[in-house]
Amino acid sequence: MQLIGEMFGYVCHGSQSRGTHCLTNQATSALQTNKKEDRKKMDSNLYDQPFFDSGHQLSRRDALRLTGAGAASLLGGVTLNVGQAYCAENKKKIRLAVVGGRFGATFHWHEHPNCEVTAVTDLRPERRKKLQQVYQCDNVYDSLEEMIAKEDEIDAVAVFTEATNHVKHAKMCFERGWHVVSAVPACFTLEEAATLKEVVEKTGLTYMMAETSYYRPEAIFARELFRKGTLGRLFYTEAEYYHDRGDLKRIANDKTTRFFNPDGSHSWRWGFPPMHYPTHALGYLTGVTGERVVNVSCLGWGTGDHPWLTDNAYDNPFWNETALMQTDRGNMCRCNVFWLCAAHGERAQWMGDKATFYMHKSGIHENILKFRTKGDTVSYLDLPTQTGGEIKVPVYWKTDMLPTPMRHQSGHGGSHTFISAEFINSLLEERTPAIDLYESLAMTVPGIVAHQSALKNGEQLKVPCFDVTKKKTG
């Protein structure tokens, strides 16, 4: 039961450390049933179309392994109804404040039956108004500092401020006794990583990072493939985050863009080192396998002819950075973060010694799952034959993984509702959220070190681990 919940990524990784989850008797019965009519009903909740598109040549054996009754043996029940994602009988209300009216106004805390937004704040009047409208909250403060000084009706805070201020603002909230969910990245420097770890462990309060890639449907699906062994030994992950900056002349001169502050000075985004924003990519590594990056070698590329690179607060000379990372299990990851390229979005592909899952690439190909041959037959050019083809990943937001009011499409591939629900659920159930302090730092810190490597022309550097320190016994 616990593993069924794990595979969809909304719950714990172990009953000891992450808590347990409420499944109704009806859901329990559904998990155990093999009746054809029940399975058909469950499948309709998860899939808009069949698992594999028609037109791809699959053997009868492959078809049975990937659809219908055979799916349970291969994918460990991926087509099963997983039950409720929160305990409906829990009547507790989480009082949440939202700090930051740009990205912070795109989440769905207020739609959770057990959450009420009780305060909002931003330094900019127009953003305060937006927060007020989105969350229907009239308790508005001009700054986080004012809210901390005056507000008592708060249990937790969503910190969606500048990336370079996340640790500073999270620490302020923790010291006030409030739980925190923070936008990415978790920190900007290794010193900040240590500070965040110290304050969370000292206060015992809940910390979660709002990493969107973790809850994209392909990542949820990849977690299940990995945990059930479908991919075999997952030796290589390619993860990438591409966010092209567009018209370079415009971003240098148009002070109405997000790269400038209202006073005309550069905002924190101007010249931001690519690898200091790694979590949209590494969410596909650590968020799928739980691995820690231990070594990294990174190269950067920059043109040197634009003020983005020649006049920034970070002395960053790179538009794009690409890193080769080694994990604590001896596996490999190629991680790209590019600001200047003819591409956009966050995606990955996972290669195991049994199968490879290719996440869809817009305009090029759909999601593809390919299996290595188990025989010695070969095809043209003596290449082993492969089975598999295009697949339709489940539409997870349509399932009981979310409370009923939150079952709708949302930002970043449907991840915003899952992030909102997971944070509130973790507080209700008094458990650690899926993307806790340690997972957050494991997705953030390798990028910080990678940028240091790029500045040293690709020198391989060790990546410090910020996991909980185990006490010695005996």
DSSP letters along 21-51, please? Answer: ----HHHHHHHH---HHHHHHHHHHH-SS-S
Residue type for 191, please? Answer: E
pLDDT on residue 36: 37
| 144 and 263 belong to one structural domain | no
pLDDT on residue 89: 74
pLDDT on residue 380: 58
| 195 and 243 belong to one structural domain | no
pLDDT on residue 278: 98
Whether 50 is covered by a domain: the verdict is: no
| 222 and 346 belong to one structural domain | yes
Q: How far apart are CA 42 and CA 169, in angstroms?
A: 43
Tell me which of 155, 177, 205 is where a domain ends.
205
| 201 and 278 belong to one structural domain | no
Q: What is the DSSP letter of 457?
A: T
In order, the DSSP letters of 63-123 are: HHHHSGGGHHHHHSSTTS----SS-TT----EEEEEE-SSGGGG--GGGSTTEEEEEEE-S
Tally of structural domains, the chain: 2
pLDDT on residue 9: 36
Q: How far apart are CA 300 and CA 453, in angstroms?
A: 9
Whether 9 is covered by a domain: the verdict is: no
| 274 and 193 belong to one structural domain | no
* Structural domain that includes position 250: 216-394+437-462
Whether 244 is covered by a domain: the verdict is: yes
Omega of the bond leading into 273 within 30 degrees of 0 (cis) = no
| 353 and 306 belong to one structural domain | yes
pLDDT on residue 387: 79
| 199 and 333 belong to one structural domain | no
In order, the DSSP letters of 341-368 are: SS-EEEEEEEEESSEEEE--BTTTB--E
**Which pair of tokens denotes residue 322?**
């690409």
Tell me which of 205, 236, 268 is where a domain ends.
205
CA dist 257 to 12, 124, 261, 407, 413, Å? Answer: 40, 15, 9, 33, 24
| 99 and 199 belong to one structural domain | yes
pLDDT on residue 255: 96
* CATH number of the domain that residue 148 is part of: 3.40.50.720
Whether 222 is covered by a domain: the verdict is: yes
| 191 and 223 belong to one structural domain | no
| 179 and 302 belong to one structural domain | no
pLDDT on residue 372: 86
**Which pair of tokens denotes residue 320?**
């794009």
The pLDDT tens digits along the chain (474 residues) read 333 333 333 333 333 333 323 333 333 232 233 333 433 343 334 333 333 332 333 333 343 334 333 333 344 444 333 334 666 778 899 999 999 999 999 999 999 999 999 999 999 999 999 999 999 999 999 999 999 999 999 999 999 999 999 999 999 999 999 999 999 999 999 999 999 999 999 999 999 999 999 999 999 999 999 999 999 999 999 999 999 999 999 999 999 999 999 999 999 999 999 999 999 999 999 999 999 999 999 999 999 999 999 999 999 999 999 999 999 999 999 999 999 999 999 999 999 999 999 999 988 999 999 998 766 555 556 666 677 889 999 999 998 899 999 999 999 999 999 999 999 999 999 999 999 999 999 999 999 999 999 999 999 999 999 998 754 444
- 47 — phi, psi (to 5°)? -120, 135
pLDDT on residue 12: 30
| 162 and 240 belong to one structural domain | no
Tell me which of 159, 174, 205 is where a domain ends.
205
Whether 105 is covered by a domain: the verdict is: yes
Whether 258 is covered by a domain: the verdict is: yes
CA dist 65 to 72, 120, 160, Å? Answer: 8, 50, 44
| 342 and 455 belong to one structural domain | yes
Whether 402 is covered by a domain: the verdict is: no
Whether 418 is covered by a domain: the verdict is: no
Q: How far apart are CA 423 and CA 414, in angstroms?
A: 16
* CATH number of the domain that residue 283 is part of: 3.30.360.10
